[in-house]
Amino acid sequence: MQGINLKIVSILLLLTVLWSCENGSKIELAPYEILHDNSSKVWILKSQYENNIDRTPYNRLDKWVLTFYNDQTFVLTTLGHFADYSLHQGRFEFADDNTTLIYTWKSGQVDRNKIELIDRTNLIYWVEQDNQSKIKMHFIPIDKMPVPTSVDLNEF
């Protein structure tokens, strides 16, 4: 008899979960977890527009790379300087409404950037400089580096 009651309760619980999923309920992640995936996550610049003019570096090595860590620190550098410690560091946080990403640099400078979109594959925000120029930065998770065709992977 208890086995039947347990089956009924399990079925009701399953139906409740399925019903809530079909009703448009979704689990929302905190923006922090999206940026660092509970460890660290490296993002690379996909595009950069200054006052609607494309300023995206053509050379991949010149693109900005942002690394966010789960202790709310970050590192900013270019891909070409990623390994030589030519970097800028600080702490990051979100404003209370999660629409502004705040960088506090080691120098003490604080930058507040308006977020346009944040999800697991996109980080788009606006940087305002001197109330004259608006820069739109679009970062994506860094992709796997392509292997040159001259390298034989079977040798490794």
Residue 16 lies in a domain: no
Instruction: Indicate the average pLDDT of the chain.
Output: 79
Q: How far is CA 143 from CA 43, 45, 74, 116, in A?
A: 9, 11, 19, 22
Residues 45 and 139 sit within 8 Å (Cβ to Cβ): yes
Quick: pLDDT tens for 99-113. Answer: 899 999 999 999 999
Total domain count for the chain?
1
Query: In this structure, is residue 64 part of a structural domain?
Result: yes
Instruction: Please report whether residue 109 resides in a domain.
Output: yes
Nearest Cα to Cα of residue 82 among 32, 142, 35: 142
Range of the domain at 40: 31-141
**In CATH, what number is assigned to the domain containing residue 38?**
2.40.128.540
Cα separation of 3 and 127, whole Å? 61
Domain-embedded: residue 1? no
pLDDT of residue 25: 46
Rounded-to-integer distance, Cα 27 and Cα 22, Å:
13
